[in-house]
Chains A and B, each alone.
Chain A
Amino acid sequence: MADPHDNPGLGLQKPPRIDTHAPAKYDATITLEDALNTRIAYFAIAGFVLAALPMAAHHSFVMFDTTKQVTLTGTVTSFEWTNPHTYIEIDAAEEGGGVKHWSIELGSPSILRNSGWNHNTLKSGEKISLIINPLKSGMPGGLLLQANLPDGRKLGNGPGRGPEPK
């Protein structure tokens, strides 16, 4: 599964990867393509060689387990179309009965508008299913990968991440 850091559509950039032993090329021009690749920078400091240059991280996915996917099926309780992130609040069915409330994070409205979302896409009371990367802490929160809407549409979390709108 693609590393969500690789998706600039979420308005995120890669966390630092430090290699103090091997010099590497760094392309200072941050581009869509560049964001898809690991980049470490070349430093020469007072005779000492190299530290990695981190991407300036406004936001990182570190708190989400990007190796895990969880599917939540249930009822939207609220859809917060806000900056810096949009949130879907959902009461999701638990295995073995009962319901658990989850908070799911999406990109900003500007980013999401490029992949089929708008402020009316979800309403309280609608039944949906969401595929998410859960929080590493085990608390009921996560990062959206894909939303399966009541009208059959499948939306991702920004350009290049998940299904593209038809």
Chain B
Amino acid sequence: MKPIHSILILLLAAFPALSQSSAKASSPLDLSGVWSPAGGGRGPGAPAPPQIVLKAGYKEKYDARRAEERQASARGEQLAAAGLCEPYGMPGMMQVAIYPMEIIQRPEQVTIIGEAFSEVRRIYIGKPQLKLDDVDPGYYGHSVGHWDGDTLVADTIGIKPSVRGYQEIPHSEQMHITERIRKTGPTALQDQITIEDPVVLEKPFTYTLSYKFVPNYEMVEFVCENNREYVDANGVVRLKLHDK
């Protein structure tokens, strides 16, 4: 082989590595990495609060449940919202307190892992959405996505009604979640989430979650193995005490 060919081969071998490390961090089309909840807040430029309008029947049940919770709280008791080791599912897993999430990106699939409860969802890029009947109702449903410029648009159906809704808002099996996920800067990510539900909601509502990039973070394992809290016969959360 001529020496020039050897040199070219060496350069080509080196180049991808060189270009990747500098390009990756700032590419708007690369969402990969670990992101922790951040930003938003109040003040100028803050996203508008969602206006959530429940249909008749659902509003009354919602209010009644909040009233029960308030009364229990006044007695020093917490009513269980869901199973105490139960993961959030969608859309809740997209923000759980200050826990980070990891985005793993391949051209055909974006995988998001939430550190809290080790929740995993997969968005299939370029695939058509399924008919609702063909989706097993679950915590994460079925998500498909496509790129709209620098925005990943994700469409999710098939979340079962028992999975906690956004802010405990009830939902039917027909809940349809649309997300517009995009980087707003080299280390800033936003997920604009729209919830539609023709059964429960008078109209769709939208809220925005913001994240900041966390470099060099190794995700921590989270297996809900030691749930010392339990729900008693009245739906009240109690703490299991040990004798020793």
Contacts and interface: CB of A to CB of B under 8 A. Distances in A.
Interface of A: 8-13, 15-16, 18, 20, 25-35, 41-46, 48, 51-60, 62-63, 65, 77-78, 80, 82-85, 87, 89, 91, 101-103, 105, 108-111, 113, 135-137, 139-141, 159
A8 B76 contact: no
B120 interface: no
A92 to B, nearest CB: 12
Interface in B138-178: 164, 166-168
Interface string B27-46: 00000000001111110001
A83 B226 contact: yes
What are the 4 A-B residue pairs with the smallest beta carbon separation, nearest first? Answer: A29-B40, A82-B226, A28-B207, A136-B76
A82 B223 CA distance: 8
Interface of B: 37-42, 46-56, 59, 62-63, 66-67, 69-70, 72-73, 76-78, 81, 84-85, 88, 92, 95-99, 115-116, 164, 166-168, 202, 207-210, 220-229, 237-244
Contact of B51 (A44, A51, A87, A136): A44
B39 A31 contact: yes
A83 B222 contact: yes
Contacts of B84: 84
Contact of A25 (B49, B55, B78, B207): B49
Contacts of A84: 84-85, 222, 224, 226-227
B66 A31 contact: no
A95 B183 CA distance: 58
Contacts of A15: 69, 73, 78
B78 A111 contact: no
Contacts of A77: 244
- Looking at chain A's contact residues, the main secondary structure is loop
B77 A62 contact: yes
A65 B73 CA distance: 12
A153 B221 CA distance: 26
Given A34-B40, A51-B66, A85 B228 contact: yes
A140 B41 contact: no
Contacts of A8: 97-98
Given A29-B210, A42-B51, A45-B54, A113 B42 contact: no
Nearest to A143: B239
Given A29-B47, A31-B38, A105-B239, A89 B244 contact: yes
A16 B49 CA distance: 17
A143 B85 CA distance: 19
Contacts of A34: 40-42
B66 A18 contact: yes
B226 A85 contact: yes
Contacts of B72: 62
30 contacts: A10-B97, A25-B49, A27-B49, A28-B207, A29-B39, A30-B40, A31-B38, A41-B52, A41-B167, A42-B51, A48-B59, A51-B66, A53-B167, A54-B168, A56-B168, A57-B81, A58-B97, A62-B73, A63-B76, A63-B78, A77-B244, A78-B242, A83-B223, A84-B84, A101-B243, A108-B222, A110-B115, A135-B239, A139-B241, A140-B241
